[in-house]
Structures are given as C-alpha cells and as structure tokens.
Chain A
C-alpha cells in the first residue's frame, strides 16, 4: 500500500461531494477549451481567407447583413447580373477584376452544401463590353488593400477559386470543395447530379480550411438557369486598386449602383475579427468564472473533507504521520481531481468544438493538442491552489483535540 492507495480509496468514499466538484471543473474547462478551439480555427480561417483573397470590395444586395466574411455571399436577396455590365462599361478607374457569384444552399444525400455559380475568365473575355473596361488586362494585385498578394503568390491550385483565374468552366462541369468530396466520396472525372442535372467533376479543390471546402462551384449561367432565378447574383467581388479606393472608388460604385450595398472587405473582415475578439474575451471571462466557481467548489469540498476526516487525520498523526504526509494526502487528492477535470474537460470541450464549431461559426474545427496541456494545467493549478489551505489546515490539526471529541 502507498499514500496514493489511501487517496484513491478515499476519493470514492464520498462520491456525491466529489461529483459536484468534478463537474464544476469539468464544465468550466470544457467551456474554455471549446471557445479557444473554435476561436483559434476562426482566426486561422480569417487569416487564410485574407491570404487567398483577391477581392477587396463586395457588392451585395441592399438588405444584406454582414455576419461574417464566410457568409457574405450567402444572401437570400439577389440583384440583377446587369450590375456587372454597368460596372464594366462605366468609366470607373481602379477596377481590376470582377467576380459575380450566385450561391444557393443545396442538399445532396441528406447533407447540406453550398452551390455557387461563378464565371470563368473566358466568359469575360468573350464579352466585348466587359473587355472594354479593361478587366484582366491590368496587372493583378494592385488593388489589394488588406493583404499584399503580389509578394508571395500562393500555389495555383489554392487560388483556383478565390482569385478567379479559372480559365474555362463548361456548363456541365463542376469544381468540388475538399469537404464535399470527402463527405460524398467524390473523385475527379465522376458525375454528380445537381438540381436534377448531371455535372462532370473536373477538379477536387484542395483543402483550404475555409467555407469553400463545403462548396460546389458550377457555371454561373447554368446555376441561374437551373434555379429558374434568371440573371441574378448574390454578390460581386471586386479587386480594386487601393489608391483608387482611397480616392473614393466605393462611393463611386455606390453612386453607380444605388440599389446595392457596397462594402470593402476590410469592413466584413472587421466584423469577423470583432466576433473573434468577443470570443477571446468570452473565454477570458470563462477563465475568471472557472477560477472562482471551480476553485470555490473545490476549496469548499476540501474544507468539508478535512472536517469530516479530522478523526482519521488525528489517528494517522497518532500512528506517526507527520505534517508532510497529511499535506501530501490532500494535495494528491486535489491533483487527481484537477487532472481528471482537466482531461475530461479537454475531451468534452473538444467534442463540443468539433461538432458545434462548424454549425455555429461555419468553419471546420479540429482537435488541438496544445489545449490539452493548457486545460489540464489550468485545472491542476485551480485544484491545487484551492486545496492548499484546506490541506494545510489538515496538516496542522491538533490531534489531541480531535481524538478527544466524542
């Protein structure tokens, strides 16, 4: 038998009290881990989006809300495709690239995905009016405000969709996001039926860690035809020259398209960053709450435990146990409680983040091992700190007093 045997046996002697303290720390750590996990992937996704982003101006329906960058083009409202013509035939300076999009939610084999209609480069070139505006003829990248995309151009595959350099996309061709391909077991060359029409998958897009992973891209006009919506769009992404943006490009577009909402991507991303900051602050608030509630719960449990076991402590002292033995006995118990709370909290928090993260934040969330050390460390620190004074009280009990109690 060892000290740990005594601690282990006693741990299950008063199960109800133990369960309350364990739950307090478990739930607290789970909440912190899940928030931190989702926030981390959300920030990462924003960074990736910005990194791969060509557009810096978004044209959305007037009533569009800016909940986040990921869902910026997922609006119920639409506006006419004619806006693209209006833009391209205008004399506005600083429009580098236009990317009209129509997105609709779709269900395939019981799973929800986003079907997005885009225009390949060849379509623009085919339209004389659009060519006249100089689209694709100007050097790319001069307009990126948020990120300088010209310094380190990412691999071609990654920019396939975000930078709109798809040369051609036939009316029966589709590009499939990585998550969609995994979920539906799709491969290049296969055929997929979308809105009743078969499409040939010409490429599976590489994993980007963004909402694009759960999208299927088809030709804009095919999607318009299949949905029966006519020539409408949800969004137009524009690459604008930064110096022109500062000279009032957004206001000029607003004037040109009074029935649309024109926002810079910085505004949209700001919303997302604000959400992330709020999540970070929320996790800090949770840390404070868990330190207070979890710590108070453990301290209370430990004080009660010392009080209930005072006769046992007195007996151990009579048998020759010193202060360090009694102190270790209670701190080892706290350590086990903290460790179990930390590990359990990490597991629960990770499951919550991985399952609820995609639904709440619209981003894929993966387990983070670094949070295991973080969660366990915090839990251990709280348990040990909260138990130190009760343990010290136990170690300094007067054995004669407790043994004389009837």
Chain B
C-alpha cells in the first residue's frame, strides 16, 4: 500500500548539510500497525512527513497504491492526503478559535460536504471518542487528553485509509496516553493502516511491527513475538 524506495532526505542550512533519512526502504501493507522508534533527531518525524506527502525527499520515491507521491503537484498531494491520509500530532494542532465540533468539521469542509452532513458526522465522531458533551467547547476549554481526542476525531473525519501519528501520546499523562493508543488499536482493527512514531517502549510493543531508526537509517526490523500485554495485536 505504502512504499518508500531508497529515500534519502538531506537538510541544507547554515552552510551545513544534515541527513534526515539515509536510503530508507520500507513497505507498509494495508492494515499494518507500524511503530517507528528511535532517539530524538534520528529522522522519525521526517519519515512520517515524507510518508504523508508533506516533505519531498532528496532522493528515492514514495509510492501510495503504486502512485509516486512526489511525481504529483503539491495540490494533487493535498487532495490525496484529504482522501486517504489522516494526521495526528503530538501538539494536537487544533484551531484555537473553532469549537471541538468545528475542528472536526474542517476535513469535511475541505472535502466539500454540506453543512448538515458535516455536523452529523463530526458529532458522531466526537461521540465515538467520548466527547459528545463537549461539542461546543473551544480547545482552551478542554483538557489535553480531550484535545487529543478531538484531534483523533478530526483525523477520522474523512475516513482515511492511512493514519500517520507523530508522538500522539508525547504530551499526555499515562492514563490518557493509554486511551489514545487503545483508540488507535481499535482504528487499526477496523482495517486501517497505522504508522505511529513514539518514544514510549510501552506503546511500541503494542504495534504489529516496529522500525527502529538511528541517525536516519533503519536498523534491521524486528519481527515481534506476541507480547504479554492484553492490548497487543497478534500477527
């Protein structure tokens, strides 16, 4: 479904070049739950942004359903993201002046859905993440855990096939982090592909596969044996 072929990303700045990724090749099949781990600055976020069509690689290709992402124009990539990819950020990135309901409506506005349909779908998604009673609350009126759940509902609004989550539990307390990862597992069980960047080894083991990055290169993939955790998804 999603394939990276010898992708290298070099950042140029202040007269220096830094390698974000070095010749990374990766295959992510439909329904996979891939966890990307590694120390800070190893290229995890770069990998996620390249997979999401947001950052063009210096070398190599990224294929989504056989289509080379970076052969498309930026606007066509935006269309593809709208239709197939959902992003989840560590800092939630909710629009501060819009209510929870309106934040979830954004992808539906971009998709051209009419007002009543937008509201109905957004409300149902917020209900699904346990925020049915917080529809009209602005992000500043919600706890961080609630904000991340709004972001999760927003990510799901256009029913994406691929979820790209960049340290979604990085700013959350352990209980809320657990809820978010559980929700991601549930989403994965529905057949969606999830790629999650995390620092937390407790959540890394809950993925089907783990990719470890070190200084922009992939350390050989570990095939996991079933973990003892009840949340672990069997292969």
Contact = CB atoms under 8 A, between A and B. Distances in A.
B105 A317 contact: no
Given A1-B115, A5-B102, A403 B54 contact: yes
A325 B109 CA distance: 10
A320 B79 contact: yes
Nearest to A401: B55
Interface string A1-38: 11101100110110000000000000000000000000
Interface string B72-85: 00110011011100
Interface in A370-406: 399-400, 403-404
Contacts of B33: none
Contacts, number: 80
Contacts of A315: 87, 89, 93, 95
Given A2-B115, A399-B54, A404-B45, A320 B78 contact: yes
A404 B115 CA distance: 32
A320 B83 contact: yes
Nearest to B164: A318
Of the candidates A5, A312, A403, the one having the most CB atoms from chain B within 10 angstroms of its own CB is A403
Contacts of A1: 102, 105-106, 108-109, 115, 118-119
Interface in B84-109: 87, 89, 93, 95-98, 102, 105-109
Chain A facing B: main interface SS: helix
A231 interface: no
B106 A322 contact: no
A133 to B, nearest CB: 83
14 contacts: A1-B106, A2-B115, A3-B109, A6-B106, A13-B97, A312-B96, A318-B52, A319-B87, A319-B106, A321-B78, A322-B74, A323-B74, A324-B75, A403-B93
Given A13-B97, A403-B89, A320 B118 contact: no
A319 B109 CA distance: 10
A9 B49 contact: no
Interface string B104-135: 01111111000100110000000000000000
A333 interface: no
B8 interface: no
A183 interface: no
A320 B110 contact: yes
A13 B98 CA distance: 10
Given A2-B115, A403-B49, A404-B45, A317 B82 contact: no
Given A325-B110, A400-B49, A318 B105 contact: no
A404 to B, nearest CB: 6
Given A322-B75, A322-B79, A9 B45 contact: no
A319 B74 contact: no
A9 B97 contact: yes
B158 interface: yes
A219 interface: no
B154 interface: yes
Contacts of B105: 1
A316 interface: yes
Contacts of B102: 1, 5, 9
A319 B97 contact: no
Contacts of B89: 315, 318, 403
A12 B138 CA distance: 15
B93 A317 contact: no
Interface in A294-318: 311-312, 314-318
A10 B82 CA distance: 23
Contacts of A324: 75
Contacts of A399: 54
